[in-house]
Chains A and B, each alone.
Chain A
Amino acid sequence: MMESFYDVMRRQGISRRSFLKFCSLTAASLGLGPSFAPTIANAMENKPRLPVLWLHGLECTCCSESFIRSAHPLVKDVVLSMLSLDYDDTIMASAGHQAEAIVTEIVEKYKGNYILAVEGNPPLNEDGMFCIIGGKPFVEQLRYAASNAKAIISWGSCASWGCVQAARPNPTRATPVHQVITDKPIIKVPGCPPIAEVMTAVVSYILTFERFPELDRQGRPKMFYSQRIHDKCYRRPHFDAGQFVETWDDEGARKGYCLYKMGCKGPTTYNACSTVRWNGGLSFPIQSGHGCIGCSEDGFWDKGGFYDRLTNIHQFGIEENADKIGMAAAGVVGAAAVAHAAVSAIKRARDNGDKQS
C-alpha cells in the first residue's frame, strides 16, 4: 500500500504537533473555518499520497523559484515532501534516462491517480521542435503525461495563457496547456510567477480533498483570483481622492499616491498580490512604488506599455489607443459636418437667389 501524507511527514521528522499546526494553517490560508483543520488532518493521515509529475516546457523556472520560497518553512517542507515531486527537472535528484523512466513509471503505475503540474507551455510550430525534453518535443511528453492524469495544474501565466513566449507574433506558436489538452480538468494558477503561498495552498487543497477548489469561468481558483489588485490596494484611498503620481519621483510618488496615471494595471488584474503580498507578506510591486504590470492576465505582453493607462488596439495596424482613434474619427466627422453645413448654406443661398430672379 502507498504511504499516506502523514507517514511521509513523519518520515521527514515532522512532529505531530507541527503537523496539526500545518493543518490549521492550511485551512486558514484556504479561507476555510477552523473546523476544517481536523478534516485536513484526517485526510492526510488516512489517504494514500497522490503522486505529482511536474513538467517544464517553454518557461523561465520562475514558478519553481517562487514555489520553493513559500513563506512558512513548514508549509514549504511539508508540501515539498507531500509532493515528493516524483519528477521535476529542476529539483529532482535523478537525471537522464533514469529521470525520464520515472514519467513512464508514474503514468503506467498510477493510471488516473496522479496530478500533472505543468510549468511553461508547448510550442507547436515545426512539430514542437522549439522545446525538446530528453530528445523528444515537449508537446509529446505533455500529451503522454496528461493521458492518464487525474487532473492538471497549469502553473503560471505560461501554462495558463501563453505569456512572453506567446507574445505577438509568437514565432514558435507557444500554446497554453488547456488548448492542447482538452479532455482533463485543468486548474490555472496564473502569474509571472504566481505567489508562493497561492501555489502551496492550491497544492494542499488538491492533495487533501482530492478535488479542485472552486474555480471561476476561466478555471482559476476563486479564493485567490476573485478580486482585482485595485479592489484591495492600500493606495486605493488616493485613487478615490484623485491623488496620483504624475511623474516618477514627484511629490505624489514620495507621498505614496495612486499609480493609476503611471499605467498601473491593478484595476484590470485578478490576483492576490495586494492581500497575500510577496516574500512572506513583506511587500508587493505597488508597495515598492511601481504600478502593477498585470502579469496574471491573459496576453499581458501584448497590451501596450506598462506605463500607459490606455492600451493599444492592434486591429488598427499601427498601434493606437482608444482616445487617439476616437478623437481622430470624431474630428473627421466634425469637420465633415462643418463642411457639409457650409455647402448647404451656399446651396440654399443660391437656390433662394434663383427663386428671386
Chain B
Amino acid sequence: MSNQAIGNSKPARHVPRTRPIDRNEVYVYEAPIRLWHWINALAILTLAVTGYLIASPLPSLGGEASDHYLMGYIRFAHFAAAYIMIIGFVFRIYWAIVGNIHARQIFLPPIHKAKWWAGIIYSVRWYLFLVKEPRKYVGHNPLATFGMHFGFIWLTVFLIVTGLALYGEGAGYDSWQYTFFSSWVIPLFGQSQDVHTYHHLAMWGMVIFVIVHVYAAVREEIMSRQSMMSSMFSGWRNFKDDLPMDKDH
C-alpha cells in the first residue's frame, strides 16, 4: 500500500521506535459483524429507495387494477427489507454481548470518561485540519463511536419503532405490531400522519449518516494510520506504522 510509506516516512516522533510492538495487525471485526454490516447496508439502501417511492409513487400506470401490482411490490420490498434489518439488529445486539470487545463499542460509548470526550475533540480537530496527525485506534475513533451510537443505533431504533407502528396499522388490532407498537406510538405522536412524517424525516437522517459514514470510511482508509474499508471485508485492522496505540476509547 502506497500510504504505508508515508506513515513510515515520519521518523521524527518522540516515541522511540525501538519500543517492542507485538502486533501490526489486529482481528477487529468478526465474521458475523462483517456479514451483518453488509446485509444491513443493503437492507437500508432498499428501505430508503422503497420508502421514498411509498411517499412519492412512480407515475401512474394505466389499465385495470388487476393488470399490475407495482405499489404492492414496492411496499412488500420495504417490509421484507425492514424485517431483515430488524432481525439483523436484534442479532447485532446479541453479538454485542457474546462477541469480542469491539462488538460492544458502538453500543456502549464511554460517555463518563473525560478522556473519551477529549478524544472526540481531538478527532474533530483532525477533521478540521487543525492537527497534523490522527491518533491510532484499534476500534473506532471516539468521534466515530459517537456518530455510530447517536447517529446510527438510536436512529435505527427510531426507524424500527415508528416503522413497526405504521406496519401495525395495516396488520390490524390483533397483530403483535399493533399491540406493542402502534397502540402507544401513534397517540404519542398525535396521529398516524405525524408518525409517517417523522419516519420519513428519520430516513433523511439515515441518508445523512450514510453519506458521512461512507465518506469518512474512504477518507480514513487513505489518510488515517490504520486500514478501514478492507477491515470491514477481511476483519483485520492493519496499521500503517508501529507506534503505540491510543487506547482511550
The reply to whether B208 and A251 form a contact with Cβ atoms under 8 Å apart is no
In Å, the complex CA distance between A226 and B212 comes to: 42
The reply to whether A348 and B223 form a contact with Cβ atoms under 8 Å apart is yes
Q: A218-B187, A244-B57, A310-B55 are in contact. Are A343 and B129 (CB under 8 A)?
A: yes
Identity of the chain B residue whose Cβ is nearest the Cβ of A328 in the assembled complex:
B204
Please give the number of chain B residues whose Cβ is less than 8 angstroms from any Cβ of chain A in the complex: 50
A242 within 8 A of B: yes
**A-B Cβ contacts below 8 A, count:** 135
CB distance from B192 to the nearest CB of A (A): 4
Please give the number of chain A residues whose Cβ is less than 8 angstroms from any Cβ of chain B in the complex: 55
The reply to whether B201 and A313 form a contact with Cβ atoms under 8 Å apart is yes
A257 within 8 A of B: yes
Q: A237-B66, A344-B223 are in contact. Are A323 and B200 (CB under 8 A)?
A: yes
A340 within 8 A of B: yes
The reply to whether A244 and B191 form a contact with Cβ atoms under 8 Å apart is no
Q: What are the residues of chain A within 8 A of B59 when measuring CB–CB?
A: 246
A249 within 8 A of B: no
The reply to whether A330 and B211 form a contact with Cβ atoms under 8 Å apart is yes
Q: What are the residues of chain A within 8 A of B222 when measuring CB–CB?
A: 348
CB distance from A42 to the nearest CB of B (A): 30
In Å, the complex CA distance between A337 and B208 comes to: 10
Chain-B contact segment, one of A28-36, A44-52, A164-172, A294-302: A294-302
Q: What are the residues of chain A within 8 A of B193 when measuring CB–CB?
A: 265, 268, 294, 297, 303, 311
Q: Would you list which residues of chain B between 37 and 72 have a CB under 8 Å from chain A?
A: 55-63, 65-72
In Å, the complex CA distance between A337 and B212 comes to: 7
A237-B65, A330-B211 are known; give 10 further A-B pairs, CB within 8 A: A242-B60, A245-B60, A267-B192, A297-B192, A299-B190, A299-B191, A322-B201, A326-B204, A329-B208, A330-B208
Chain A positions near chain B (C-beta within 8 angstroms): 217-218, 222, 226-228, 231, 237-246, 251-252, 257, 260-261, 265, 267-270, 294, 297-299, 303, 309-311, 313, 321-323, 325-327, 329-330, 333-334, 337, 340-341, 343-344, 347-348, 352, 355
